[in-house]
Structure 1
Amino acid sequence: MTFNKGDIVKVDLNPIKGHEQGNYRPVIVMNSVPLPGDLNIILPITTKQKSYPLEVELDKRTKTQGVVLCFQIRTVDLVKRGAIFIEKAPADIVDTCNDYLHRLTDDVV
């Protein structure tokens, strides 16, 4: 199965280290081009909003509720982890997440 940018999927993110988001949870796929080895760039979604900078709130247009943690960037093999497609995120939410990713990496890349 192929996942696309803006897909919200449920996946087990364990094992983790330190303060990484883990467990079985929804994530949003952020890569628009295929990556080697069937990898996907993902951002975890949590229901525990802490008003951190770089959080994007999901609204009533999605059945998935919570906030996207744009600072918790991960690259994972969603197929090998058994990810399940839930829904497509609205384009404006994906665009906001993308803007935050650009801000985070602007001085790094």
Structure 2
Amino acid sequence: MAYIPDRGQLIWLTFNPQAGNEQSGRRPALVLSPATYNAKAGLVLVCPVTSQQKGYPFEVLLPSGLPVSGVVLADQLRSLDWRVREAALICRAPDTVVAEALAKASALLQAL
């Protein structure tokens, strides 16, 4: 069976093309959408990960010991075609990271 990204996984994705202040290149991302949606839609809802921690309120720190370091940018939600963008599993993020990213993204969406 082919790989399907699932909520809570850290994956590699290609973010190009990008514009303005969006994250670009092949980089890690945290998957927020469930595998059932991702399989059916062919899309995945993700937040990119950056190694540049700036203390921004929507950053979610990845704990040490993971194959990826840095912060999840919970305010840069992207819906991407995971097949075309060559999604590849890195590891599963701790539940606390996933919960914090979902809470911050939700707070942003509800504030609008």
TM-score normalised to structure 1 length: 0.92
The Cα of 1:29 is off from its aligned counterpart by 0.4
Instruction: Tell me the number of residue pairs that the alignment of Structure 1 and Structure 2 aligns.
Output: 108
The Cα of 1:84 is off from its aligned counterpart by 1.0
Same amino acid, percent of matched pairs:
31
Q: Which runs of 5+ in 1 are unaligned?
A: none
Aligned to 1:103: 107
Aligned to 2:25: 23
Match of 2:63 among 40, 59, 66: 59
SS in 2 for 1:49: coil
Letter in 1 for 2:16: N
SS in 1 for 2:105: helix
Cα RMSD between the aligned structures? 1.3
The Cα of 1:102 is off from its aligned counterpart by 1.0
| Contact kept in structure 2, 1:61 and 1:90, CA below 8 Å | no
SS in 2 for 1:28: strand
TM-score normalised to structure 2 length: 0.90
SS in 1 for 2:72: strand
**Higher helix fraction (1 or 2):** 2
5 Å-filtered alignment, 1:46-85, equals: 46-85=50-89
CA distance in 1, matches of 2:106, 2:95: 16
Q: Which runs of 5+ in 2 are unaligned?
A: none
SS in 1 for 2:90: strand
The Cα of 1:107 is off from its aligned counterpart by 3.5
Query: Is it true that 1:43 corresponds to 2:30 in the alignment?
Result: no
